[in-house]
């Protein structure tokens, strides 16, 4: 069983200037976790309060976990305040908790706050670093919430003491502010003993962007750039591709990976992808299932197909297929069974809720 001892420590280096802004590096320790041989723990989340009275602009995130920490996706969401205790998302104390007991949902977290960091599956140490002056601006009174998945494949007990280290920059040092983008395909059903591909098409970024900008002035088409992207799938995943589409049928690849779990599945885009002139997103995940049974969406021995990114839009974007459903009608293409589902309406949220 997981150790019941839960400790949350914060180590600070040159953090918090005279004007109250976060600056420098701050290390948040969480856990510890004890995982017995062959034990798997899923369904748990972690909460870390940032205690930021002012905006906190993060430029670098470094996660150190260790073997057995299978994966985690991190979001920032509103914390409670003395004057507004009901503002808190997924209310409760810091530490490890059961995700379902607080109603945690990645799509809700993305719209209430934004994407903070995503760990590549089975990568024990990973750094997410933006260019100099580029940062995500986290509003005052925020906290981090992450869904975690622990898996001990060994014959020995593992004890993990993970930490997440964040480097903050001051407002005057920030030249570009980023927002999050999160898309998920929960309509998975990997057929046994073969390759398969699952595509979500027609994610209507243009309509979502026009609706969002119409509330603050004149509705306009997308005009942002994508700076950083990350794929998330499990051990049966063989790759993910994200494409941008124009109304005239032109298609461009935003990001793709053909790496397996254990490798870093994300990083900065060089060159940046300019979404100006494009209206829709399409993303696909490829898998090979050597098992004799169908594999669906989920943790444990199931699969996922998730795309996370950071853009210089003032809005967070989210969408895809956000509830578990049957994949579309199968079509055999070469030796790969392919499935397609239309994207649900794309939602947006102001990246600066303050």
* Domains of the chain (ranges, CATH numbers): 9-174 (2.60.120.230), 177-350 (2.60.120.230)
* Short-list 8, 25, 55, 56, CA closest to 166: 25
Compute the Cα dihedral for 39, 306, 349, 20 and give only its sign. Answer: positive
Give pLDDT, residue 353: 55
Q: What is the DSSP letter of 171?
A: G
C-beta of residue 268 within 8 angstroms of C-beta of residue 228 = yes
pLDDT in tens, 224-255: 999 999 888 888 999 999 999 999 999 999 99
Q: Is 207 left (phi over 0), alpha (psi -120 to 50) or beta?
A: alpha
CA–CA gap between residue 350 and residue 93 (Å, rounded)? 26
User: pLDDT > 90: what percent of the chain?
Assistant: 66
**Mapping DSSP to helix (H, G, I), strand (E, B) and coil, where does residue 210 land?**
helix
Q: What is the 3-state secondary structure (H, E, C) of 92-149?
A: CCCEEEECHHHCCCHHHHHHHCEEEEECCCCCCEEEEECCCCEEEEECCCEEEEEEEE
Give pLDDT, residue 8: 44
**Mapping DSSP to helix (H, G, I), strand (E, B) and coil, where does residue 55 land?**
coil
Helices within 191-323 (DSSP H only): 205-214
CA–CA gap between residue 281 and residue 183 (Å, rounded)? 10
Q: How confident is the model at residue 259 (pLDDT cuts 50, 70, 90)?
A: low
Judge whether residue 3 has pLDDT over 60: no
């Amino acid at each position: 069983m997981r150790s019941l001892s839960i400790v949350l420590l914060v180590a600070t280096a040159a953090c918090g200037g005279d004007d109250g802004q976060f600056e420098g590096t701050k290390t948040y320790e969480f856990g510890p976790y004890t995982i017995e041989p062959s034990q798997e723990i899923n369904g748990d989340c972690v909460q870390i309060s940032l205690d930021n009275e002012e905006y906190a602009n993060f430029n670098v995130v470094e996660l150190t976990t260790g073997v057995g920490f299978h994966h985690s996706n991190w979001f920032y969401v509103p914390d409670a305040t003395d004057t507004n205790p009901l503002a808190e998302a997924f209310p409760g104390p810091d530490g490890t908790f059961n995700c379902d007991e607080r109603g945690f949902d990645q799509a809700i977290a993305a719209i209430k706050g934004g994407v903070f960091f995503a760990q590549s599956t089975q990568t024990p140490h990973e750094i997410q670093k933006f260019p100099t002056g580029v940062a995500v601006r986290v509003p005052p009174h925020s906290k981090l919430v992450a869904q975690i998945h622990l898996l001990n494949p060994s014959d020995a007990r593992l004890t993990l003491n993970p930490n997440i280290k964040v480097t903050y920059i001051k407002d005057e040092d920030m030249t570009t502010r980023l927002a999050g983008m999160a898309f998920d395909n929960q309509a998975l059903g990997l057929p046994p003993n073969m390759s398969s591909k699952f595509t979500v098409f027609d994610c209507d970024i243009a309509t979502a962007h026009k609706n969002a900008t119409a509330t603050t002035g004149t509705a306009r088409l997308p005009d942002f750039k994508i700076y950083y992207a990350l794929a998330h799938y499990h051990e049966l995943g063989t790759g993910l591709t994200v494409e941008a589409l124009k109304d005239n049928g032109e298609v461009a690849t935003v990001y793709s990976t053909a790496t397996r779990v254990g490798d870093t599945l994300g990083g900065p885009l060089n060159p940046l992808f300019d979404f100006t002139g494009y209206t829709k997103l399409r993303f696909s995940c490829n898998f090979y299932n050597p098992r004799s049974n169908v594999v669906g969406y989920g943790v444990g021995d199931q699969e996922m197909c998730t795309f996370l990114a950071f853009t210089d839009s003032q809005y967070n974007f989210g969408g895809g297929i956000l509830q578990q459903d049957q994949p579309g009608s199968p079509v055999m293409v070469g030796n790969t069974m392919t499935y397609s589902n239309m994207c649900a309406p794309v939602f947006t949220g102001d990246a600066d809720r303050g």
